[in-house]
Structure 1
């Protein structure tokens, strides 16, 4: 698939590059996290959250809301699913990586979504990006043969155990974790996930 630069104007529909924030301490700490052959996601990591820039990120990018800083790393080439939150997500890229993104507004009434509407963006190492709440996203993909690694900053409690729902809204069937609504592709075989992605399970290869 065509891979655009994060500086391309098309990215403005999905998020923005954050300038002027010193995240060097966080990038150094990220070098110590595991990088498996598949994908690992940890919602909250105490060593990352101890970095001096954590408070600055919370105040400047989340308006003082309590946050968590975790990481996602490993090796991945496929979309597999899309998720969204009720707020922005901030990624701090230790390595080059690729994000495949879509728009919540394009989800159909039956909660299916056509993957042909998604776009891929190259995020250079050291870049801080805000991914908007209405942006569909999932695990990053490798930009090269090497593995990827990024910090993931979200409001505290996100991606932990899902609350119990009583079917108050049809959207409840997508609630996969706390503050995480997910639509999976059938080829991904994600247990208990709603399989609503139509079309190709996108690959950056």
Structure 2
């Protein structure tokens, strides 16, 4: 059975993030129409053509408090959870098509670093909606609602999700979740992840 999908305006979303208003994103959406849309999922962390847009400069100054950001995209076709990740900061997602985010809470990760997918909720993000996904919110690739696939702008602090340098040592178990810079990941055994990914999601690999 598919996952129940709530509208992003549902009060339940407030535990995971908020809708961001006031930004003129039409130029950004137009640029996104020309980005790749594969049969699987592609993620590009930084796209200079997007970062050069005035609205992205404005978001860097205002939304990220003048901290350097990267503007990229996550596009493709997906119907499953597969994994859950978190960062040390909020992530801005801009729906360039209708899409669904499956979200959970970092607080529900057990001391043994397992996580029950049954705790997650799904939300429909309509095209043109800007959302802040809080630092404590578990998330992964969006899901598409129509056969045409999904396109999503992803804004994060500069360097996030790029290649990780080897750790000098593992201080505690959370270090084993560190999958890329500023990216801690818990995978599902059915998620098709690389062998170095930490597998700790119990329960169903959720499908919308």
Aligned mates of 2:24, 2:166 — CA distance in 1 = 39
Aligned to 1:53, which of 48, 52, 55?
Answer: 55
Aligned to 1:167, which of 155, 167, 170?
Answer: 170
Q: Is the 8 A contact 1:80 1:185 kept in 2?
A: yes
Deviation at 1:180, TM superposition (A): 0.1
Runs of 4+ in 1 over 6 A off after TM superposition: none
Write the mapping of 1:91-170 to structure 2, written as runs, cut at 5 A.
Answer: 91-165=93-167, 166-170=169-173
Cα RMSD of the aligned pairs, angstroms, is 0.7
Deviation at 1:46, TM superposition (A): 1.1
Write the mapping of 1:5-84 to structure 2, written as runs, cut at 5 A.
Answer: 5-84=7-86
Deviation at 1:50, TM superposition (A): 1.3
Q: Is the 8 A contact 1:25 1:52 kept in 2?
A: no
Unaligned runs of 5+ in 2: none
Q: Does 1:176 align with 2:176?
A: no
Given the two structures, how large is their TM-score scaled by the length of structure 1?
Answer: 0.98
SS in 1 for 2:72: strand
Deviation at 1:143, TM superposition (A): 1.6
What is the aligned length?
204
Paired position in structure 1 for 2:197: 193
SS in 2 for 1:173: helix
Aligned mates of 1:116, 1:184 — CA distance in 2 = 14
SS in 2 for 1:195: coil
Deviation at 1:145, TM superposition (A): 2.2
Given the two structures, how large is their TM-score scaled by the length of structure 2?
Answer: 0.97
Aligned mates of 1:6, 1:150 — CA distance in 2 = 15
User: What's the CA shift string for 1:82-106, capped at 9, x where partnerless?
Assistant: 0000000001111000000000000
Deviation at 1:150, TM superposition (A): 0.7
